């Protein structure tokens, strides 16, 4: 099927395709799965000042996030799992209220933006099964509210023992398996909630 653009051009975003507002037309606004075939994410989202949650998983969306989405500063969740998206801009740091960033099963490649480390409210970072092939960004250690960090099945490199997890005291799930990390498991892991959880996988990440 030919590629298509989603229709997000009217002045009132509550009337946009796939957008649902509450009865009063106020936030939160949810973007539910579109089942859009071979589509890019159209510009215009940044004009929707009420946008709090953007969900469009299980589609065939491709390309990158439009630049103006980083102007939607009220967004708390971006969940675009199981698509074919290939990039996140350093401007993601502008979305300061972001709690959840879910790009599981996409085509992300290159470097994970280091500016993700500026997202102080981020709780879930889910990027498994992509093609990230840079060094592991130590800036993630500044995301002190992280409870789930899932980066397995990428091509990340670096020495895991150099990372200081002590700031991530809320961390309960950590999966770095099937990357190209080296070194030994850092002792700072003991300063997180992982000690009371069985949900951490690092050994399979080392080479």
Q: How much is the pTM?
A: 0.87
pLDDT of 166 reads 94
Find all residues with CB under 8 Å of 96, minimum gap 6, and list them.
Answer: 73, 118, 119, 120, 121
Q: How confident is the model at residue 10 (pLDDT cuts 50, 70, 90)?
A: low
Which of 115, 113, 54, 60 shows the shortest CA–CA distance to 85?
A: 60
For strands 124-126 and 148-150, give the pairing: parallel
pLDDT, one tens digit per residue, over 80-121 is: 999 999 999 999 999 999 999 999 999 999 999 999 999 999
Q: Is 50 exceeded by the pLDDT of residue 203? A: no
Domains of the chain: 4-205 (3.80.10.10)
> What is the reported pLDDT for 41?
80
Look at residue 59 in the predicted model and tell me its pLDDT: 83
């Amino acid at each position: 099927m030919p590629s298509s653009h989603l229709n997000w051009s009217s002045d009132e975003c509550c009337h946009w395709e796939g957008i649902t507002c509450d009865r009063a037309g106020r936030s939160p606004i949810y973007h539910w799965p579109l089942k859009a075939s071979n589509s890019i994410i159209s510009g215009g989202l940044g004009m929707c000042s009420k946008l709090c949650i953007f969900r469009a998983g299980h589609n065939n969306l491709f390309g990158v996030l439009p630049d103006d989405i980083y102007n939607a500063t009220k967004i708390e969740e971006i969940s675009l799992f199981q698509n074919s998206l290939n990039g996140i801009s350093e401007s993601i740091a502008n979305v300061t209220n972001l709690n959840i960033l879910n790009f599981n099963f996409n085509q992300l490649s290159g470097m994970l933006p280091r500016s993700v480390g500026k997202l102080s409210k981020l709780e879930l970072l889910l990027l498994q099964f992509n093609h990230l092939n840079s060094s592991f960004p130590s800036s993630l250690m500044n995301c002190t509210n992280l409870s789930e960090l899932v980066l397995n099945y990428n091509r990340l490199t670096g020495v895991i023992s150099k990372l200081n997890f002590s700031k991530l005291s809320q961390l309960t799930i950590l999966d770095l398996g099937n990357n190209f990390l080296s070194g030994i498991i850092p002792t700072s892991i003991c300063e997180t909630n992982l000690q009371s959880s069985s949900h951490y996988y690092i050994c399979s990440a080392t080479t």
